[in-house]
A and B are shown apart, each in its own frame.
Chain A
Amino acid sequence: MRPPANDLARIAHGPRKTRDSLCSKTRESSGHSLLPRPDFSRSRLWARAQCGLVHYVLALALAIAACDVFTATARAAPDEVPVNLGAARCLDCHTQPSPIRQQDGTTDWVRLTEAHTWLTTDKHSQAFEMLTTEYSKRLGERLGILDVTKDQRCLSCHAGWAKGTPMPPQLAMGVSCEACHGPSSLYDLRHTVPAWRAKPADEKAELGMIDVREPRRRSELCLSCHLGSAAEGKLLTHAMYAAGHPPLPGFESATFAQAMPPHWRELGQKAAVVRDDDRIRQANGYKETDLPDVKAVVIGGVVALRESVRLSGEWAAANSGGWPDFAQYDCAACHHELERPSWRQTRSTPGRPGRLFVSNWPVPLAEIGVKRLERDDATAGELVRQDFDRRLVDYLGAGSSQRTASCERLGETLDILLRRLDDLPYDRSAAGHLLRDVGQLGQRGDLDFDSARQLGWAFQTIYLASYGNDPARPAPQALAELAGMLLLDLASTREQKILDLARQQAMYDALGGYQPSAANSRFAILLQALEK
């Protein structure tokens, strides 16, 4: 049964197949197979997806009443709040393109295989399913959580149910389309017309669609779960870690996005007809010479510190006077065997030895951001540098009474830095400088495991973005060694589960056996290789 509202959609799109026909009949009748058949063996997921139709009908009725579907020019009424319709609705179109969509130019803009990629290879689609495992059940029992599949503390990240928002219609879909792209009730129909492509991002945002092309917004979005957000109720506490939740840090935006794997194309990868359309270029801030991954590394690196600072401030506000929640500190700062001699004792700490300072894994990449600005804009760079250095030290070593203030101050500096960085070029020449900066930071003697990992990921991504297609510049052996030592490889295959216990053990072993000197020497070799 199709809901009657779909008739309207049909007018907007032209004739349209039902989902079933998309999955099987279309392929058979069209005589050529674009994709391997999607694996819907997770039939439970699939069944749940269909339950969302009820919500979909309700929300759609609202949407239709409020807007002009056909031109997609109308704006949302001020009192309209976008709501989730559930991924099943998106799957209708975004699983496999019909021949018509291929012919009418839609696939020049959008692949229409996004849901297929997500459902078959992206771990985000397993996020809820993970909660149904014995491992998660026991984890919940240890914490005294009655049912991890119903508790918002878990669902905020595992099913995109942020604090203060209505429960998404299809929890079982895990972290699905709307968790990242925004609740779709207001843009659901509007975004299906060609005119949508040239709409500015802020107009789309008013209708609920999140601008995931914008590196800052995208990183913030990822970090809301991959780091945490008190405002959205996405908080991983030390008690949860102690109960068995795997450690989160760190997070390098570009690397993690590549590992999803991408279900999208960057603007530069889209068909020429789209790429060369000036209105689309302008609306999406497209710069031909920019390497998108390189920009993502730099912006994402600063955003990671920006969001850590925000979270730390939120923790401090919630926890005045009591224990700091250990989740905001570097795991390995305490969790290491007491072995002598120890590199920890010889490094310089921002505070006193043996006292807490907040986790600093995002610091090296934020440093890369400052260096990027310094290189292009000496005046602004110098001002930001001064504030950054001073405020960072305050922030890392602040006691409980100065925590909130120190977070605010560093946050301001990072906001300025981010605004400045957005306009700078991220072309091959910039990438070359960035690689040298990363290599140099990689030689710091006090580089902890997670910081080294951030630098390793950054180097790998920028290197591939710059020389990936150049047979004369194969990836140096030292990079492979670094990847082995720091577990840089985030394998993303269909077999790859969210929680792979053997990999988790390997991770703990790598963390336990880590020596900064080993990472330092690899970065030094990489730096030499660059000079050749």
Chain B
Amino acid sequence: MRTTLTLLVIMSPYADACADEPRREPIAAPLGQRSPWVGVSSCSAQPCHGDVKRDSVWPIWGNEVTLWIERDPHAQAYRVLSNELSKQMARRLRLEVPANRSHRCLGCHSPGEAYASQREEPVLADGVGCEACHGGAQKWLAEHTLAGWQAKSARAKRESGMVDTKNLHDRAQACAKCHVGAAGANGALGGDVDHELIAAGHPALKFEFTAYLSKMPKHWSEKVPLAGFDARAWAVGQTTSAAAALALLADRAARGNESAWPEFAEYDCYSCHHQLHGASDALPLVSRRQQAVERQSVKSAGKKPTIREQLGLPLWGNWYLPLTRVLPGTDDAALKATTEIERLMRHPGAERQQLVQTAGEAARRFDRWGQRLMEEEYSSTAIDQLLGRLKTAAPAIASGNWDGEAQLYLALVALHYAKHDRPGGPPADDRLTRSLRQTREELMFPTTVAGEERRFDSPRGLDPEAALRERLLPELERLLKE
């Protein structure tokens, strides 16, 4: 009780700060809903997880915290809130407290914030520490050092508050809370990078599990079957990210007031954010989008064209959803729901309640689908079947948009590694084929224009049709033949 009161008092400064932000609940940390945190310092003792070297005898490495501090960007998550960009962002967003004191930022940049006994710098400075992914440790801190712990079932551990990060589904879920986004209200872990944050300077979130996992410095050994590891991680990552994105959509629709709805962060950035010009410098001016509409008109002669309805409206769902269509164990109801949501998202103002319901239900379905995907086999044959379905779907997925193209590229990288058995090894660029490396170059945003150094966050000048035709499709064929 005393702690609750203290927390309420502590939180009050930014309850004020949020006064002009009707969308966000004032924070009153719901103690008891989640295990309170103990902080990184409780894990980092030298004999526990803070050793300097990896232990070869124990099932755990023993130097996890050391590796995290030394190599893992998560350890810097809090510190970036003090940099110049964060200060600028706070100004542009008119935050009444600095970024490193605002829940809007701390929900992801230092999630321990809501559980700190005081809002003191050392706790906040943990950034994304152990418990952000492994779960608040108050309840299991002592117990997990005892001999019996290893024999306990995953479920029993989960019940005591420890996240089962060995399970790829649960792991992806933990990542998605911040890397896809979550409501993050009431002190829960996660945050919502909405269009306001992006406009103020926050990078837009585009999460793909295998790519992020391969970039994260490892402090563990994988416990899932290593055969086809990347294929499994990729498939599970796809559904779990989709589930998180849909849950976030449901939440946004539920709380969005009229000045924050439609939530532009839901849509394809580059549908709108492109310079106005034709497909090439050659006249007449016909943009790629217009060409796509015309192609569709020809194909659907007589039938009601679908794309025409989107003329002048941004695409929705082209990052998290298109590849879920090729995953094994298809959940037709989930896919149908996404089609319905896509329709609703073209008129989101009018049918918001329906959106809340449909997106919420779809999120649960995708999540269960992800759990089922953990049970699938990812043999060579299964991967080939996956590639076959991908080949059929590729033209529609990557048609005229960077998101689809990039997702397709990331899928091919994951499946390439799955075929070459790179079980959790370091990302080895030289093991990627040349054409995949070239595709990546193409997908990267330009850094120079006419010899002048400039920084873009949009794929200025990319021709997705050519990239698909000349690189991605041939690469798919090659992988299939291997």
Contact = CB atoms under 8 A, between A and B. Distances in A.
Contact of A244 (B94, B286, B350): B286
B281 interface: yes
Interface in B331-361: 346-350
Interface in B54-80: none
B274 A335 contact: yes
A354 interface: yes
B92 A345 contact: yes
A337 B312 contact: no
Contacts of A346: 92
A399 B258 contact: yes
Interface stretch (A6-14, A273-281, A409-417, A504-512): A504-512
Interface stretch (B3-11, B32-40, B114-122, B192-200): B192-200
Interface size class of A (residues with CB under 8 A): 35 or more
Nearest to A512: B275
A339 B350 contact: no
Contact of A337 (B196, B198, B273): B273
Nearest to B287: A244
Nearest to A326: B312
Contact of B272 (A243, A335, A401): A335
Contacts, number: 136
Contacts of A511: 275-276
A472 interface: no
Q: Which of A141, A144, A355, A501 has the most CB of B within 10 A?
A: A355
Contacts of B264: 354
B200 A354 contact: yes
B92 A142 contact: no
Interface stretch (A190-198, A211-219, A234-242, A477-485): A234-242
B282 to A, nearest CB: 10
Contact of B283 (A237, A501, A509): A501
A330 to B, nearest CB: 12
A345 B88 CA distance: 9
B211 interface: no
B284 A400 contact: no
B311 A243 contact: yes
A51 interface: no
B271 to A, nearest CB: 9
B95 to A, nearest CB: 11
B460 A337 contact: yes
A323 B305 CA distance: 21
B42 interface: no
A323 B313 CA distance: 9
B283 A505 contact: yes
Contacts of B197: 354
A339 B198 contact: no
A474 interface: no
Contacts of B281: 505
Interface residues of B, number: 52
B196 A353 contact: yes
B289 interface: yes
Interface string A141-154: 11110000000000
B434 interface: no
B313 to A, nearest CB: 7
B2 interface: no
B155 interface: no
Interface in B301-342: 305, 308, 311-313
B295 to A, nearest CB: 11
Interface string A306-342: 0000000000000001110010000110111111110
Contact of A322 (B286, B347, B455): B347
Nearest to A339: B456
A473 interface: no
A283 B77 CA distance: 74
A135 interface: yes
Contact of B285 (A237, A332, A334, A504): A504
A243 B293 contact: yes
Nearest to A319: B349
B181 to A, nearest CB: 15
B297 interface: yes
B455 A339 contact: yes
Q: 4 closest Cβ contacts across the A-B interface?
A: A354-B199, A242-B312, A399-B258, A338-B457
30 contacts: A135-B284, A142-B290, A142-B308, A241-B312, A243-B290, A243-B293, A244-B290, A321-B349, A321-B350, A322-B350, A323-B262, A323-B348, A334-B273, A335-B272, A335-B274, A337-B273, A337-B456, A337-B460, A338-B273, A340-B456, A353-B93, A354-B195, A354-B197, A355-B259, A399-B257, A399-B259, A400-B258, A501-B283, A502-B283, A505-B278
Given A354-B264, A512-B276, 11 more contacts: A138-B294, A141-B297, A142-B308, A144-B305, A322-B347, A335-B274, A338-B458, A339-B458, A345-B199, A401-B258, A512-B275
Interface of B: 88, 92-94, 194-201, 257-260, 262, 264, 269, 272-278, 281, 283-286, 289-290, 293-294, 297, 305, 308, 311-313, 346-350, 454-458, 460
